[in-house]
Structure 1
Amino acid sequence: MKYYIIAGEASGDLHGSNLMKALQKEDVHAEFRFWGGDLMQSVGGTLVKHYKERAFMGFAEVLLNINSIFKAISLCKKDIAAYKPDVIIFIDNSGFNLRIAKWAKEQKFKTHYYISPQVWASRANRVEKIKKNVDAMYVILPFVEDFYKKYNYNVHFVGHPLIDAIANRTQVDEYTFRKEHQLNDKPIIALLPGSRKQEIKKMLSVMLSVVKDYPDYQFVIAGAPSQEYSFYQQFITTKNVTFISNKTYDLLSVSTAALVTSGTATLETALFKVPQVVCYKGSWLSYQIGKRIITLKFISLVNLIMNKEVVTELIQGEFNEKSLKKELDSILDPYQRTKYFLNYYELEKELGGKGASEKTAKLIYKAISPNT
């Protein structure tokens, strides 16, 4: 079978690569053509366009890059038409993927969606388009399955692929890790400022503003694979800060606490059982638009899944040095930390256990196989 997969960022590349491996087990003749990144490319097949070339964050940033986005959409349609896949698999990345899905359905391609667009957070009217243009939807958050039921759309809850990604990783020895990256014996506070340049610019300076207040700890920036160290250098103006690229899971496994930009990283941090402060700051325009259309009580996946405030969220104006120091003090307090661990264990239960990639691959292959 020929599979055309479209992922739009680092997390999509990770989940796409694991899905590809699972599909290879189901279909020994699987052929892949995809939009993704290095991890998907390492599995095999043909990379059409790397996610680094189209990583735009926020409403304002998308508008500024609208011409290049439309060119990419046009390229994608032409490439799919030439490849003639047996199925198109969309991974998150709704702004791009829902446009392709509409066209693909009109062209009679089979359309499957892995990791739902966040219609449960804003613009729920998109559900009708999804029902019309997506043959099968695989969701990774339990409350999303319930959300779609309200619209008479049956989806598959497959569990969260991060559980597998973390469980299957090679365990790191803390002594070796510290020695390899020239870290001292002080407890580590991890800084996860995001993966896109726009968000790193807005997040990292504020995160680093508290370093001077914690001489008994060392701060380590988790560098995204999509960015070079030279980009981060401009923000590092104090001592007691180390930079480690593309080793986020290893870093979290040895960290005492973390300051984390809202997104998938908040859930990753929780699954490593690291107390965290969730941070978010967008452009003024993006924030003004977002707060008018997003209907959720929380922005972090941890709080959304648990339906209560498990981790503190510092959003926009609240994300400042004073508030960050106050919340960091709290998660470093031994008496406060126990509640994080208990909530994190409950969170993992809610996510449905291991096997998301394998479950999804089996369902996709069964749906498109001519023998079924």
Structure 2
Amino acid sequence: MRIFISTGEVSGDLQGSLLIEAIKRQAAGLQLEIVALGGEKMAEAGATILGNTSGIGSMGLIESLPYILPTLWVQRQAIAYLKQNPPDLVVLIDYMGPNLGIGTYMQQHMPQVPVVYYIAPQEWVWSMSLRNTSRIVGFTDKLLAIFPEEARYFKEHGANVSWVGHPLVDRMQNAPSRLEARGKLGIESEQIAIALLPASRRQELKYLLPVIFQAAQTIQAKLPQVHFWIPLSLEIYRQPIEEAIKRYGLRATVVSGLQKEVFAAADLAITKSGTVNLELALLNVPQVVVYRLNSVTVWIARKILKGSIPFASPTNLVVMKPIVPELLQEQATAENITQAAMELLLNPDRRQQTLADYAQMRRCLGELGVCDRAAGEILQMLLGTGD
């Protein structure tokens, strides 16, 4: 039986790989072929990759322009493959642009093939109109929600929804302890370890890295026992990041494949907004979240689309309250980042409050076994026993 999975960006590749491992665990004795749009992690988990989409992704209107053609090409490639090799089931993971096209194609040309949407686009947070929500509900036979609010929203709009919980609950379960992680990285007990997470998309090297590194420079001057750790999301970012470390004179180490160790060892993180915020929260690491977009994108969103989002970081979105400081656009200055970081490092009460809020947030992410629950639902649909 053939499952086709479509996702993109670094986080989608990770979630796809965790799902594939869970499907394989549960599909004992079933001959499965998994073909995907994804990246290296999904390939390692056993998928045949049609197109590598881990580097194709952006946030914002102007920022997305360079990716329009690659996205259309990937979408066409996927549809051409599906036409020639009809799957038994399609799983879409986030990645709204291509997946709306693929889902609509399946609905129009292969309505008999079940489509499962796992980790739906965050329409429940920033939907400007119900058009995309209606499309998603229209072509999706089963929506596997990771947030309670997401499940409620799509259920209200007519989707067949199961809330499975957030897959990072499973992933962070086998993270090392703080002591193990610091031992592995060679961090002395008196050293303050700060994780810097400036980029998983190319645009973030331009908009986020300079301001985060400026703040790091100031923090380093104030606290001589600080050392920065930068886990790479993609190896192609190593060179620009290492050049920037030299330029800003930072005491920093770039590592590859040791993200969980860096997180577990860190006293604090200064990070872009994204899934990584939840990983840090699950390991009890206080964090300052930073995001900036092209000023034209922001102007269009504010003036023309009249868009406003309650929060940018998933950590805050889950409980709809400001657990971690978010410094967005004009607020994302080196001074503000430094101030928020120093407060979390040096004020024990502020730190304790963050950890207490993390505990509350964690309860909204579901119980262990998320990927197995999602895989179980998918296999039920595949074998025709799902609702």
User: TM-score, structure 1 length as denominator?
Assistant: 0.94
- For residue 350 of structure 1, the aligned residue among 344, 364, 369 is 364
CA–CA separation in structure 2 for the residues paired with 1:103 and 1:90? 13
Q: Deviations over 1:136-172 (max 9, x none)?
A: 1111011111212332333111000001011134667
CA–CA separation in structure 2 for the residues paired with 1:300 and 1:365? 32
Corresponding residue number in structure 2 for 1:115:
119
Corresponding residue number in structure 1 for 2:197:
192
Corresponding residue number in structure 1 for 2:236:
227
Q: How far does residue 221 in structure 1 lie from its aligned partner after superposition?
A: 1.7
Q: Against the structure 1 CA distance between its residues 98 and 260, is the aligned structure 2 distance closer, same or farther, given a 3 Å change threshold? A: same
Q: Against the structure 1 CA distance between its residues 76 and 249, is the aligned structure 2 distance closer, same or farther, given a 3 Å change threshold? A: same
Match status 1:132 vs 2:138: yes
CA–CA separation in structure 1 for the residues paired with 2:332 and 2:314? 18
Match status 1:315 vs 2:328: yes
Q: Which runs of 5 or more residues in structure 2 are unaligned?
A: none
- For residue 176 of structure 1, the aligned residue among 183, 192, 202 is 183
Q: Deviations over 1:225-256 (max 9, x none)?
A: 34342121232121322222232211010000
3-state SS of paired residue (2:244): coil
Corresponding residue number in structure 2 for 1:61:
63
Task: Tell me which moved more, 117-126 or 87-96.
Answer: 117-126
* Contact 2:91 2:118 (8 Å CA) reproduced: yes
* Contact 2:197 2:271 (8 Å CA) reproduced: yes
Corresponding residue number in structure 2 for 1:23:
23
Which amino acid is the alignment partner of residue 222 of structure 2? Answer: D
Runs of 4+ displaced beyond 3 Å:
168-172, 182-185, 289-295
* Contact 2:290 2:328 (8 Å CA) reproduced: yes
CA–CA separation in structure 1 for the residues paired with 2:189 and 2:212? 20
Q: Against the structure 1 CA distance between its residues 228 and 41, is the aligned structure 2 distance closer, same or farther, given a 3 Å change threshold? A: same
CA–CA separation in structure 1 for the residues paired with 2:274 and 2:307? 15
Q: Against the structure 1 CA distance between its residues 149 and 370, is the aligned structure 2 distance closer, same or farther, given a 3 Å change threshold? A: closer
Q: Against the structure 1 CA distance between its residues 371 and 307, is the aligned structure 2 distance closer, same or farther, given a 3 Å change threshold? A: closer
Corresponding residue number in structure 1 for 2:309:
296
- For residue 284 of structure 1, the aligned residue among 265, 279, 295 is 295
Q: How far does residue 48 in structure 1 lie from its aligned partner after superposition?
A: 0.9
Match status 1:334 vs 2:348: yes
Which amino acid is the alignment partner of residue 232 of structure 1? Answer: I
CA–CA separation in structure 1 for the residues paired with 2:52 and 2:92? 15
Q: Deviations over 1:244-287 (max 9, x none)?
A: 22322110100001111011111111111011111001111222
CA–CA separation in structure 2 for the residues paired with 1:206 and 1:53? 23
CA–CA separation in structure 1 for the residues paired with 2:321 and 2:119? 22
Report matched runs for 1:232-311 at 5 Å: 232-236=241-245, 237=247, 238-291=249-302, 292=305, 294-311=307-324
Q: Against the structure 1 CA distance between its residues 175 and 258, is the aligned structure 2 distance closer, same or farther, given a 3 Å change threshold? A: closer
Corresponding residue number in structure 1 for 2:42:
40
Q: Against the structure 1 CA distance between its residues 235 and 338, is the aligned structure 2 distance closer, same or farther, given a 3 Å change threshold? A: same
CA–CA separation in structure 2 for the residues paired with 1:75 and 1:293? 35
CA–CA separation in structure 1 for the residues paired with 2:39 and 2:120? 20
Q: Which runs of 5 or more residues in structure 1 are unaligned?
A: none
3-state SS of paired residue (1:297): coil
CA–CA separation in structure 1 for the residues paired with 2:54 and 2:301? 24
Q: Against the structure 1 CA distance between its residues 371 and 252, is the aligned structure 2 distance closer, same or farther, given a 3 Å change threshold? A: closer
- For residue 165 of structure 1, the aligned residue among 148, 159, 171 is 171
Match status 1:155 vs 2:161: yes
Which amino acid is the alignment partner of residue 112 of structure 1? Answer: V
* Contact 1:280 1:316 (8 Å CA) reproduced: yes
Which amino acid is the alignment partner of residue 373 of structure 2? Answer: K
* Contact 2:176 2:264 (8 Å CA) reproduced: no
Task: Tell me which moved more, 153-162 or 225-234.
Answer: 225-234
Percent of aligned pairs sharing the same letter: 28
Task: Tell me which moved more, 4-13 or 63-72.
Answer: 63-72
3-state SS of paired residue (1:65): helix
- Aligned pair count reads 370
